[in-house]
């Protein structure tokens, strides 16, 4: 289902301060208390998020995760990839487990998370994305209920920016849905994106899934339309080649809300849509 407007739970988070320094003391205490639910000593699930200079971004992500209603034992692990702003201070102030990875690149950060995590299942997120309360349960149960499923991915909507209203993104997501469905039939690994996916941790370790020749930066590369699988897609592809299934998780709980900076890197909404239509719908 495509949302023309922003859901109430997303609006509630967006109304909160984006900067940790602007939060009221009582709100900090409350958030820190809620985040203690992710301190399980023997977690079933590990939510792993890489971060590079996300002082003003990851706070909203943490707020969204703090509202989760899962019954599974979960740990939250943030991989700090050489941030030079206040990211580390924010995480430490809120009691969020974090590890420094000095090798620069998203793949290096995710690889560190893969080996530091303790859960049987890893859910991968990003620090510019908001997660619904049922996200963890919906994603994990996609693997728990079918042992042949090694990897899952959900759907997403874009948070509107000042230059692009929400209804235009809704139209873009509607059209992109046809491309996503086409890829799902033959190349589901290309639909497996790091801000909303998951896999069985040991399977990922066994295949060294994040090992790719060229590591992406955190802001990505403009004008690139999945010419090759990124570290997230490569993980999914190798899991599939190892005999596992990639499963798409549908529904409200599996739809996350993410920053539109990926679209802006491609030159804006029109440019991004044109590239994808040419590549997937009208290629010879």
- Count structural domains, the chain: 1
Q: Is residue 262 in a domain? A: yes
Q: Is residue 151 in a domain? A: yes
Q: Is residue 1 in a domain? A: no
Q: Is residue 230 in a domain? A: yes
Q: What is the pLDDT of residues 197-215, one digit of tens each?
A: 999 999 999 998 898 876 6
At 283, the pLDDT band (50, 70, 90 cuts) reads low
pLDDT at 30 over 60: yes
Q: Is residue 2 in a domain? A: no
Number of CB atoms found within 10 A of residue 198's CB = 32
Q: Please state the rounded mean pLDDT for residues 269-278.
A: 71
Nearest to 196 by CA among 79, 93, 47, 67: 47
Average of per-residue pLDDT values in the chain: 90
Q: Which residues partner with 246 through β-bridges?
A: 151
Distance CA 210, CA 108 (A): 8
Domain residues for 85?
8-280
Interacting residues of 184 by C-beta distance below 8 A, sequence separation 6+: 191, 248
Q: Please state the rounded mean pLDDT for residues 109-130.
A: 97
Of 43-47, 135-139, 164-168, 215-219, where does mean pLDDT reach its minimum? 215-219
Q: What is the pLDDT of residues 125-139, one digit of tens each?
A: 999 999 999 999 999
Higher pLDDT, 259 or 283: 259
Angle between helices 269-280 and 166-186 (to 10 degrees): 20
pLDDT at 282 over 60: no
Q: What is the pLDDT of residues 222-233, one digit of tens each?
A: 334 344 558 999
pLDDT at 170 over 80: yes
Q: pTM for this structure?
A: 0.91
The DSSP bridge pattern shows strands 149-153 and 74-80 to be unpaired
Interacting residues of 281 by C-beta distance below 8 A, sequence separation 6+: 178, 179, 182
Read off the CATH number of the domain in which 222 is found.
Answer: 3.90.550.10
Percent of the chain with pLDDT over 70: 91
Q: What HEC string does the chain produce?
A: CCCCCCCHHHHHHHCCCCCHHHCCHHHHHHHHHHHHHHECCCCCEEEEEEECCCCCCHHHHHHHHHCCCCCCCEEEEEEECCCCCCHHHHHHHCCCCEEECCCCCHHHHHHHHHHHCCCCEEEECCCCEECCCCHHHHHHHHHHCCCCEEEEECEEEECCCCCCCHHHHHHHHHHHHHHHHHHHHHCHHHHCCCCCEEEEHHHHHHCCCCCCCCCCCCCCCCCCCCCCCCHHHHHHHHHHHCCCEEEECCCHHHEEEECCHHHHHCCCHHHHHHHHHHHHCCCC
Q: Is residue 241 in a domain? A: yes
Q: Is residue 177 in a domain? A: yes
Q: What is the pLDDT of residues 79-98, one digit of tens each?
A: 999 999 999 999 999 999 99
At 101, the pLDDT band (50, 70, 90 cuts) reads very high
């Amino acid at each position: 289902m495509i949302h023309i407007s922003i859901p109430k739970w997303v609006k509630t988070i967006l109304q909160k301060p984006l900067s940790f320094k602007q939060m009221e003391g009582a709100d900090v205490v409350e958030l820190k208390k809620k985040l203690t639910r992710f301190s399980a000593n023997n977690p079933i699930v590990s939510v792993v998020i890489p971060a590079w200079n996300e002082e003003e971004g990851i706070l909203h992500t943490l707020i969204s995760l703090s509202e989760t209603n899962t019954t599974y034992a979960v740990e939250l692990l943030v991989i700090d990839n050489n941030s030079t702003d206040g990211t580390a201070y924010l995480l430490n102030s809120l009691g969020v487990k974090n590890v420094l990875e000095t090798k620069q690149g998203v793949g290096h950060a995710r690889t560190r998370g893969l080996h530091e995590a303790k859960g049987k299942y890893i859910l991968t997120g990003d620090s510019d994305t908001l997660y619904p309360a049922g996200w963890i349960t919906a994603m994990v149960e996609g693997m728990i209920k079918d042992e042949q499923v090694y990897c899952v991915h959900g759907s997403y909507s874009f948070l509107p920016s000042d230059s692009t209203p929400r209804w235009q993104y809704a139209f873009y997501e509607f059209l992109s849905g046809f491309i996503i469905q086409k890829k799902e039939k033959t190349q589901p690994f290309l639909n497996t994106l790091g801000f909303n996916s998951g896999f069985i941790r040991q399977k990922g370790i066994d295949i060294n899934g994040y090992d790719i020749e060229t590591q992406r930066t955190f802001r990505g590369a403009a004008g690139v339309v999945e010419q090759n699988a990124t570290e997230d897609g490569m993980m999914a592809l190798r899991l599939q080649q190892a005999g596992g299934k990639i499963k798409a998780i549908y529904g409200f709980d599996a739809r996350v809300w993410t920053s539109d900076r990926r679209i802006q890197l491609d030159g804006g909404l029109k440019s991004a849509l044109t590239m994808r239509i040419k590549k997937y719908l009208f290629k010879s």
